[in-house]
Amino acid sequence: ADYQYIKTETDGRVGIVWLNRPDVLNALNRKMVYEILSAFEAYDRDEDVRVILLAGKGRAFAAGADIEEMAEDDAVSMELLNQFADWDRLSLTKKPVIGAVHGYCLGGGFELALVCDLLFAADDAQFAFPEIKLGVMPGAGGTQRLTKLIGKSRALEWIWGGDMHTSKEAVELGIVNRLYPKDLLFKEAIQYARLLSEKPPLAVRLIKEAVHKAVDVPLQEGMYFERKNFYLLFSSEDQKEGMQAFVEKRKAEFKGR
């Protein structure tokens, strides 16, 4: 596909989305968010792709929403624009999304990272919600997703503070899964994505759905939800294949059906 602000490529069964507006540190304008969404949705429908990897070109992952673009907005123009419908759809992606973050990961860029299922970061990554310095606040899930990840008190400290946090802090708080030296980050992330792409895809996606459910609903409701997904997998060819292969002491060939 022809994109203006992102680049896509596949590596085996991994669909890669590159944020590609490096002269403004990948500041996210609305068209760019729409392009990211289009790429995610295309990969989600593509049976040859099993895992999505999101990373940034240039010296940053993303330094936030495009400030120039929103500077003149008002409440009514934003309501009519309904840009966050695209953000909501980003989080409906069924396949796993791995984020590989280096350099600045700020504001809307941080919110985009928080949409990813797992985050790997370079040791130079810096995280912040600087919105407060602009007289506003996060609007694409920052106050909600960060709070669910690190708790109320720390989230308030980060979002009121607006200042930069290191990737080491982000790992310690559970925002980031793994840290790598900058020149190894992408290699390690793609390696992980490849391994994940060899796992039975239906199980992978139903696990994603169930774990995300746990963040949102009371335990018993989540338990019922988990059970339905568990049962559903017993209608798959991959369940038959996986268990048969175990019995026959051979390696399973998963098809995603």
Tokens representing 59? 């010296």
Q: Which amino acid is at 170?
A: A
Which of 131, 238 has the CB closer to ligand HXC? 131
> How far is residue 167's CA from residue 180's CA, in Å, rounded to a whole number?
10
State the minimum distance, in angstroms, from the CB of residue 2 to ligand HXC: 23
Contacts with ligand HXC by CB under 6 A lie at 24-25, 27, 63-68, 104, 106-108, 130-131, 134, 139-140
Per the structure block, which two tokens stand in for 220?
A: 């018993």
Question: Cα 51 to the chain's mean position, in Å?
Answer: 11
Provide the minimum distance between the beta carbon of 140 and ligand HXC in the complex, in angstroms, as a whole number: 4
CB 33 within 8 A of CB 83: yes
Q: Which amino acid is residue 257, in one-letter code?
A: R
Looking at the chain, which runs of residues are DSSP E strands? 6-11, 14-19, 51-56, 97-101, 104-106, 118-122, 126-128, 165-166, 178-180
The smaller minimum CB distance to ligand HXC, of residues 112 and 202, is found at 112
Q: 90 or 196, CB closer to ligand HXC?
A: 90
CB of 201 to ligand HXC, least distance (A): 31
The C-alpha atoms of residue 235 and residue 248 are separated, in whole angstroms, by 20
Active site residues: 65, 108, 111, 131
Shortest Cβ 73–ligand HXC spacing (Å):
11
Q: CB-wise, 65 or 170, nearer to ligand HXC?
A: 65
